[in-house]
Amino acid sequence: QNKKCFRHSRFAFQQYWVNRIYLTRITSLYQWFHVTRGVILLYYYSQEEQQKELGYFPAEWAKFKIMQRRKQLNLTEEGTHDLHTSRFQP
C-alpha cells in the first residue's frame, strides 16, 4: 500500500516535470512563432491597406519623394525619369 503510494507519487512527480520542461518549451516556441508571424502579417496588411487608400505602397511614395527632391536640387535629369516618378506626377 505504502510502496504503491510512493510509486504513484514519484510517477506524478516525473509527469509534472516532463510537462513542466518539455511542454512549456514547445508552447513557448509555438507562441514565439505565432507572435512573430502575427507581427509580419500585420505589417503586410497595413501596407496593403495603405496601398488601397493611397493607390501605391508607402515605399514607392518614399522613392517618389526622393526623386522630387532630386528635381528640386537640379540633379541629373537621367536620374529623375524613373518608373516611380511618371506614376506620381501631380
How do residues 11-53 score in pLDDT, each as one tens digit? Answer: 677 777 777 777 777 677 777 888 888 898 888 888 777 777 7
What is the per-residue pLDDT for 4? 56
**How does residue 73 score in pLDDT terms, banded at 50, 70 and 90?**
confident
DSSP string, the chain: -HHHHHHHHHHHHHHHHHIIIIIHHHHHHHHHHHHHHHHHHHHHHHHHHHHHHHSS-HHHHHHHHHHHHHHHTT--HHHH--HHHHHH--
pTM higher than 0.75: no
